[in-house]
Amino acid sequence: MTKHHIDWNKCIDVCSDGAAAMVGKIKGTVTRIKEVAPKCSSSHCVLHRHALVAKKMQYELKTVLDQAVLIVNYVKSRPLQSRLFKKVCEDIGSQHQSLLLHTEVRWLSRGRVLLRLFELHDELKIFFTKQPVSAHVNKLVELLHDEQWLMQLAYLADIFDKLNVICKALQGRATTKFTVNDKMSSLKNKLAFWIECVEKHNYECFTILNDFLKENELRVSSDVEKNIHEHLTSLTKSLHEYFPEQLQDMDWVQNPFVNHTKPSMLSVSEYENLIDIKFSSTLKQKYEEGTFDLNAFWIGLKDEYPEIVNRAITLLLPFVTTYRCETGFSAYAYTKSKYRNRLDAAPDLRVQLSDIKPNFNAILRKYVKKFHSSH
């Protein structure tokens, strides 16, 4: 910031992962930024909060998850076992030929691993019957024949797959606090609906579990149903804990054409600008046609209504996730591998992370006078 002479007053928000080094009251990065940028606010990355919500579960389902990971690790961590299992899947004609390893730091890992394990549990039964295993591994193999355990595995595959859908919807460069509020409100209502379905012994909302029950003509036992109900209740509690914010006072940013009482954050002149926008039939028609996005809508009004537009942009501008940082880290790790450890990756990253697509044909015509025949 100092090197490029950027004014700290332009910093309006800092989004962090919530670690102590970032949010510490004395030497935390956010604290030190607020000392030089007094108008700056701070927020906790919604992707990290979503991961923390999904991480909590009671002992019984956590045991099922740990056992599932042990089964996967037994096959995946041994190259010979992995090749033999692939051969079994190929002989049977399975949709997949391998399991997926679980990685705690990857947010989507848990759902994908459990889903793949459940899809291949029949293949695993055949695989383990064709080779001798130790007593410890045999206990894990017995779980694949335990209907109660498979029910809980199917439920976990279902619920984490649903949470993964929400997680992917929160990723992207255009995500705002309004997007997050909509997605979290939807998830809270879905959880309430799922709890209601479980109380009525209806599992149609959990596709994998429901199909497993129908195929094997089974009913969910009271113990498994209790575990599912407690887990959904725990998720609801955690969701309200990590996502308590409501944006009713900011609805005017998303839709300035509905009836609003004066928002407390707006001054008199700003509210007068909002009234002018509300009763503009031309703007309302363009808004309803959906010919532009929310950012473009407000930016297009900057010259005519600068006060209310500045207020709206201040609410739309902050990053609510660390998605851009994570994208940069991933691109850097992919580009500067151990085989290219002396590479200056900065120019490559600039191309990879830019929204502008280079015209390589034009660049080559301009700077390369003669192409080599081998190229």
pTM value? 0.84
Pair 73, 162 in one domain: yes
Pair 151, 261 in one domain: no
Phi, psi of 152 (to 5 degrees): -70, -35
Does residue 316 form part of some domain? yes
pLDDT at 289: 76
Last residue of a domain, one of 220, 242, 264: 242
Tokens encoding 74: 């037994």
CB 336 within 8 A of CB 344: no
Tell me the average pLDDT of the chain. 86
Per-residue pLDDT tens digits for 218-260:
899 999 999 999 999 999 999 999 998 777 788 888 888 887 7
Residue 367 has pLDDT above 80, yes or no: no
Pair 216, 155 in one domain: yes
Pair 187, 280 in one domain: no
Nearest of 174, 171, 183 to residue 296 by alpha carbon: 174
Does residue 359 form part of some domain? no
Pair 269, 178 in one domain: no
pLDDT at 373: 56
Nearest of 68, 45, 331, 327 to residue 167 by alpha carbon: 45
Tokens encoding 348: 């490559």
Does residue 374 form part of some domain? no
Distances 241 to 146, 179, 190, 255 between C-alpha atoms, Å: 35, 19, 17, 28
CB 210 within 8 A of CB 204: yes
Does residue 34 form part of some domain? yes
Does residue 93 form part of some domain? yes
Per-residue pLDDT tens digits for 104-135:
667 677 888 899 999 998 888 888 887 777 77
SS3 sequence of 129-142: HCCCCCHHHHHHHH
Per-residue pLDDT tens digits for 176-210:
888 898 899 999 999 999 999 999 999 999 999 99
Pair 27, 83 in one domain: no
Tokens encoding 186: 């939807």
Does residue 189 form part of some domain? yes
Does residue 105 form part of some domain? yes
Pair 84, 160 in one domain: yes
Q: Please state the separation of Cα 114 from the chain's center in Å.
A: 17
Does residue 358 form part of some domain? no
Pair 150, 30 in one domain: no
Pair 218, 279 in one domain: no
Pair 81, 40 in one domain: no
Q: How confident is the model at residue 100 (pLDDT cuts 50, 70, 90)?
A: confident
Structural domains in the chain (count): 3
Pair 206, 61 in one domain: yes
Task: Note down the domain range covering 14.
Answer: 1-44
Determine the Cα–Cα distance for residues 149 and 206; give it in Å rounded to an integer: 16
